[in-house]
A and B are shown apart, each in its own frame.
Chain A
Amino acid sequence: MKGETLLRVEHLTMRFGGLTAINDLSFEAKAGDITALIGPNGAGKTTVFNCITGFYKPSEGRIALAHGGEQAFAAVEEATARGARTVTVGDGAIHLLERMPDFVVNQHAKVARTFQNIRLFSGMTVLENLLVAQHNVLMRASGYSVFGILGLSPYTSRQKEAIELAKLWLDRIGLTDRADDPAGDLPYGAQRRLEIARAMCTKPVLLCLDEPAAGLNPRESLELNTLLRTIRDQDGTSLLLIEHDMTVVMEISDHVVVLDYGVKISDGAPTEVRNDPKVIAAYLGVEDEEVAAVEAEVEGRA
C-alpha cells in the first residue's frame, strides 16, 4: 500500500468566467505520504482542494482516487468511458471525484477536508461535533430514524461505539476535558485540532488540510506536526495539505507540489523544491531581466 499512488490529478483546469484559476494541472499523491501543495497567495491551491473535495466542478480534467492499492487505476479508462463515478476492481475501487457531488466525495470516496477559515459547529459541543461527523454510520444504524425513534437496539450500541471513537480522538487532540463545552468557546489552536479530529471521524483514506498551521503559535505548530505524523503512520490516512508555514512544510511533508498562477512550477521532495530557482522566483520575486527568462521557461513547461 505505502508508496503506491493514491490520488491522480490529470489535466485539471478550472475556469471562472474568463479567469483561469487552475491551468492543466497534473500531480500525484502517494498512499502513506504527506503531500504539500504550496504556492504564493492566489496561486489556486484552495481551488484545487475544492475540485478534489467536490465543492467545485472542474472545467476539464480527471481526479481519480484508488481504494485498496494502485492496481485499481487499471479501471480508470473504463470508468471514464462508461461515465461511472465508481468502478470496483477486485477488493478495491476507483473513484472519479470530479463526477461526484461534495457529500458523496466524503461518504463513498472517503476524502475528508478542513477549511482555511475554521468551520466548526460552534453552537454544538465538542462531542456533538465529532458525532455529526459519524452521521452516515449512525443514520444507517438508526434505520434512517425509523428504528431510532422507537428506541430499538442497534442504534444504541452504535451510538456508544461512535462516542468511543469520539473519546479516542478527544484524547489524541487533548480536549477530553472540554468535551461538553461548545466548540465556539475553544481557543483558536484547539479549534484547529478539533476540525482535524472531526474530519478524521469520517474515517477517510485521504485528508485534505487547508492551512492547518495558520494562526498557531510555535508550540501548537509543533504539536500539530506530531498529530499529522501520527495520522499518517497510525491511521493509514494519507494527507494532502496546503500550507504557508515553510518550516511545517519542510519538516513533515514527503512530497511537495508548487503552484503559481494556477500552473505547477515544481514537484518533488522538499529539499529539491526548496532549491528550485523557479520556486524561489515565484516566492521572492526576481530581477526584471530574469522575469522574461523564467516566464519563457514556465511557458515552455506548460
Chain B
Amino acid sequence: MAAVPQSTAATAATSVPDRLMAAVKDAGFATIVTLGLCIPLVTLRTDADEGGRLTLIPRFGLTAVLCLLVFLARLGYLTIWGKEARASRRPPSRGEAIKTVAAPRYTLTSVGLPIALGFAIAYPALMTLANGGLSEARYWIDLGILVLTYVMLGWGLNVVVGLAGLLDLGYVAFYAIGAYSYAILSTTFHLSFWICLPIAGILAATWGVLLGFPVLRLRGDYLAIVTLAFGEIIRLVLINWVPVTNGGAGIASIPRASFFGIPFNDDDNGFAALFGLEFSPMHRIVFLFYLILALATLTSIVTTRLRRLPVGRAWEALREDEIACRSLGINTTTTKLSAFATGALFGGLAGSFFAVRQGFVSPESFNFLESAIILAIVVLGGMGSQIGVVVAAVVMIAGPEMLRNLDFLKTIFGDNFDPNEYRLLIFGLAMVVMMIWRPRGLVSTREPTVFLKERKSISGDLVKEGHG
C-alpha cells in the first residue's frame, strides 16, 4: 500500500510493456515494504519451551508466502482489476467530468429507510422464530436495542457534523446529561419516564447551546479540541460531584420503564396479567426495543424534515461557506446554536433511554471512546446521509459482536484459533479498507432538498466537509 503514489504517475498514457514494467516495479516495492514489516512481526517468533526459557523460532517459509501473496496481489491490482488498469482498457470518455448523476425517483434513502424500518418492526418476531422462543432470542433483541441506540445517536450527531459541518468530539456529554437527568429526576423526585424524557431532552439541548456559545468562533482542530474537552469535563463533573451524582459508584436502581404506567411484573395489575399473557421478563425487553425504535424513527423524521426547512438549508449552507451565509443575512450564531441544540436534544433522549434500559448509570459509560464510535458511525455512513448511518451503525456495533460467533474459522486456522482475540484487528482492518475504498463514507452523494424538474444526486467531491 505504501507504493500507491508511484503507480498513478506510471500509468498515464504509456505503452503496455512500459505499464507492465512499472507495475512489476511497484509490486516489488510493495513486497520490500512487506518484508520489512514481516521480519519483526512474523519471521521472529518467540516461544517459551518446557523449561520456561524463551526460544526463537524463525519462520522464513511463512514470510516468503506472505511476500509472494502481496507481490501477486499488488501486481494483479495494477494490471487486471484495479481502477486504473480498467480505465486504461476502456476507450477514453468525454473530457468533462460529470459530477451529477441523474438519480431515479426512488433514492437510496427513500427506499432504504422504509425497508430498514419494516425489518426493524418485524425483527423481534423474526428473532423469536429463528431462535425457537422469545427468551432464547434475548441476545439478539438486546443487540438490536444496542444498534438502534447508536443509530439514533448517529442521526443526532449527523445534524451537527454532517449537516452543519461542525466537528463535535464530545457528543457523549449530551448522552450522559440525558442519562443522568433521568436517573436523578426519577430516583429523587420519582417522576415517571414519560415526564423525564422531554425534560432530559431539553436539558441536553440547553447544554448544547451552552457549549455552542464559547465555540462559535472556533473552527477545525480548535473546535474539535474544545468539544473533546467539554465531553471530558462533563465526565469529570459526574465523577467528582458526589452529592448529586454519587461519583464513580454511579446511580443504581433507577426505576424501570413501565408500559405507560403499567409495570412489567408478575403482579395482578402488571402488564402480563392485564393483557392476559403469561408473565415473561422478555415483555420489557421487547417494549424497550420498540421504544428505542420509536425514538430513533422520531429522530429520523425530525432531522429529515428540518433538512428541508430553511434552518436545515442554512445548516448546509454554513457547512459550505460561512462568509457567504452572513452576506445573505443569515445569523450564523443562532444557526450554529440551533444545530448544537438539535443534536444535543436527540443525544439527551437517547441517554434517557440508556438509563431506563440499564437501570444503572455511571461515568464509566460515557468516555471518549463512545464519542469516537458515534463519530465513526457518522463518518463511515457518509456525512449527512440517513441510510448510511443505519448501515454504519449495524456494521460498527453488530459487526464486532458477530465476530464473536465466527467459530467456522477454527476449521481453517486450527482449534487453537480464537476469533474473539482478533475481533479488534479485523475491525480495524475493515475500517482501513473502508477508508481506502470509500473515503467519503458509504453514501457519499448528497440529495438536494428541493428540485425543479429532476432530482439529481450531488457528487461528494463537490460537497464540502465544513470547517472541521
**What residues of chain A have their CB less than 8 Å away from a CB belonging to chain B?**
53, 55, 102-104, 106-107, 112-113, 115, 119-125, 127-128, 131-136, 138-139, 142, 144-145, 148-149, 151, 155, 159, 163, 167, 176, 179-182, 184-185, 198-199, 202
Contacts and interface: CB of A to CB of B under 8 A. Distances in A.
B309 interface: yes
Contacts of A132: 313-314, 317, 325, 328, 330
B311 A145 contact: yes
A163 B458 CA distance: 20
| Among B316, B317, B327, residue most surrounded by chain A Cβ atoms (within 10 Å) | B327
Contact of A123 (B328, B330, B462): B462
B321 interface: yes
Contacts, number: 144
B302 A112 contact: no
Contacts of A55: 323, 326-327
Contacts of A102: 326-327
| Among B314, B329, B446, B456, residue most surrounded by chain A Cβ atoms (within 10 Å) | B329
Contacts of A181: 100, 456
Interface string B306-319: 10011101101100
Interface stretch (B272-280, B423-431, B447-455): B447-455
Contacts of B456: 125, 180-181
A115 B328 CA distance: 12
A93 to B, nearest CB: 16
A120 to B, nearest CB: 7
Interface residues of B, number: 40
A133 B328 contact: yes
Given A119-B323, A122-B463, A132-B314, 13 more contacts: A103-B330, A106-B326, A115-B327, A124-B320, A125-B448, A125-B450, A131-B450, A132-B313, A132-B325, A149-B302, A149-B306, A176-B452, A182-B99
Nearest to B317: A132
B131 interface: no
Contacts of B404: none
A53 B323 CA distance: 11
Closest 4 CB pairs of A and B: A123-B463, A106-B329, A107-B329, A121-B320
A112 B326 CA distance: 10
A105 to B, nearest CB: 8
Interface in B319-368: 320-321, 323-332, 338
5 contacts: A123-B316, A124-B317, A124-B458, A127-B452, A132-B325
A128 B458 CA distance: 12
A125 B451 contact: yes
Contact of A135 (B306, B328, B446, B453): B328
Nearest to A198: B328
Nearest to B102: A180
Given A123-B463, A182-B99, A142 B329 contact: no
B96 to A, nearest CB: 10
B440 to A, nearest CB: 11
A122 B320 contact: yes
A103 B99 CA distance: 32
A182 B328 contact: no
A139 B338 CA distance: 13
A55 to B, nearest CB: 8
Given A122-B462, A128-B449, A180-B454, A149 B309 contact: yes
A173 B445 CA distance: 27
